[in-house]
Structure 1
């Protein structure tokens, strides 16, 4: 029997998430890094073991390029051993990087920007998606924003506090004028539990990624409040091109391991190029059955919804970093005003350009 997700009290939520940052939303280090025993034997990377990439909810389409790079043997072809550490949400994966339980993280670019507010020197190595690939949906019986505001508490399901799903939900609700005092956030993790939570009334609103979103649209009566699964709808939410998933690491790791960094980006750009022409049969052959959540057709339909947002080359859109900073500032105006966020230090296209040159020579 599936355990019911537990809502966080307002006191707990504020303690976990404010000030909002990439490391916020983690109750304890043990909860943030549930598989520490499996990780501890690998140690920090220094050439003595596989590279550890932390991801939040590996089964979501958000991480499809990483999953496929491994399944297609692209990491191995670059002479790399890669160990993917799967956490319940992106905030947990970012925390693993911060405490050196991982060497790199695959997560939302906004984590890199928000990291500067907490003195993290993270840098995006390669962009995987040109949109966050998330959506905020509500029970269709809640016909308007006024209906949402009247609910006390309004239960909002997210993957975890501090995650990109949490960020989208908080941003939309804030700008829609829904009082924060009436909000009760519920950490759902990933997978079928999120679908069940909305269908059974455990939450009123869910912010999540696909294939969960498509399953909700097909199996429940929902109303989409905010959608970032297409370039157009994402730009409507954020006012410009909002970078989605990326592979990022600390500057010290990058400086110590230049060959490995370039090899990783080579593999990722190759996977992104493969995805540009991949068909349903190709995905069905490579994606683990468990990731389909029991509905192959829904998974493939979800992929088609986000396909256009996948980066074709791993390069950062020109207006992407500024859009991300504006989004963070909309929720954290005081923090952004006080800090000097240097966007040029949050990413580089150098490795993706080199990877593209290598592929063109083959």
Structure 2
């Protein structure tokens, strides 16, 4: 009987073993994949993310890196905190806000030293001449808890307008932002290129506060404001240093490419749908703002202090907390790039 059962059971055991092997390989593949969430991958402020992929630099790492997009940085942050992503291409200010909430993350490569954003005023809201006029108005931001929301609240508070005296409405970016302004849902709002150029070129909006260059940012915020970066959970960085180094190297190479190539050459590398049917407008916008990107991924000196000052101006999660800025970023990986 025993000799009869064994041949009958052998195919079943072989099938189970094959299934277990397949399951193990799927889990291994999933574990090896590195997902990076981008807070609006088509935005020019996050250009290095997609450009690194287009140039083949991410593939050169030998890692399985996937770039995914969320309409706002706060959504991307949520994905990372849930474990669905290993990193976020978003604003550095989230690292400070999260530390105040008891979560340690750090910027491993700094893309920019200016936000690259502006506050646009709708052509129908002619009575808004400065942030002091925000009282009673509805202001568009990419998302509640996003960096556009942070900066809008700070500029209002700096002008003496309390957060309770105006409304912030999450409207995303690109077409959804444009639609919100066209439909009169927002009086003004903070957004990025190429949305800025699309609205100003048509006369639908005008610029109130410009944070696209280091100089104008220093005038508005009191110093350089390190913005776009790749930030990751500190624990993951410490346990995956080899992978982090490869990713950072790819992005530093991309930043060097941006500094040594024209806006047109860069635009030629980007997907056509990023142009919103007007490639020249995209090129012109990039030409005027690509100076915001760092040349080497290094955190600008005194930049973190400026960001902390801004957040202390309105963020109740940060106010009164002891923030260790040295834990919000690291230059270990960018300085190791040859």
Report the equivalent of 1:247: 230
CA separation of 1:71 and 1:146: change in aligned 2, threshold 3 A: closer
Are 1:159 and 2:142 counterparts?
yes
Kept after mapping to 2: 8 A contact 1:129/1:245? yes
Report Cα offsets for 1:276-299 as digits up to 9, x if no partner. 122244233221111112221221
What corresponds to 1:338 in structure 2? 320
Q: CA deviation at 1:60?
A: 0.3
Are the equivalent residues in 2 in contact too, given 1:136–1:168 (CA < 8 A)? no
Deviation by residue 1:168-226 (Cα, 9 ceiling, x = unmatched): 11111222233533422222112122123223322100111111112111112433222
Instruction: Using structure 1 for the length normalisation, give the TM-score.
Output: 0.81
Task: Say if 1:43 and 1:256 are closer, same or farther in 2 by CA, change over 3 A.
Answer: farther
Partner of 2:102: 119
Distance 1:76 1:198 in 2: 39
- How far apart are the structure 2 equivalents of 1:127 and 1:107? 10
CA drift of 1:165 comes to 1.0
- Structure 2 runs not aligned, ≥5 long: 1-24
**Does 2:79 align with 1:96?**
yes
Which of 341, 346, 350 in structure 1 is aligned with 2:332?
Answer: 350
Query: Which of the numbers 282, 290, 300 marks the counterpart of 2:283?
Result: 300
Q: Which residue of 2 aligns with 1:37?
A: none
- Go from structure 1 to structure 2 and tell me whether the alpha carbon gap of 1:54 and 1:45 turns closer, same or farther (over 3 Å shift): farther
- Write out the 4+ residue segments of structure 1 that deviate beyond 4 Å after TM superposition: 42-47
Residues matched between the structures, number: 312
Residues 51 and 223 of structure 1, relative CA distance in 2, 3 Å threshold: same
Structure of greater Rg: 2
Q: Distance in 1 between matches of 2:164 and 2:157?
A: 11
Pick closer, same or farther for the CA change 1:242–1:147 going to 2, 3 Å: closer
The CA distance in 2 between the partners of 1:328 and 1:136, in whole Å, is 18
| Structure 1 contact 192–293 (Cα < 8 Å) conserved | no
Contact 1:130 1:244 in 2 (8 A): yes
Structure 1 counterpart of 2:41, from 58, 61, 64: 58
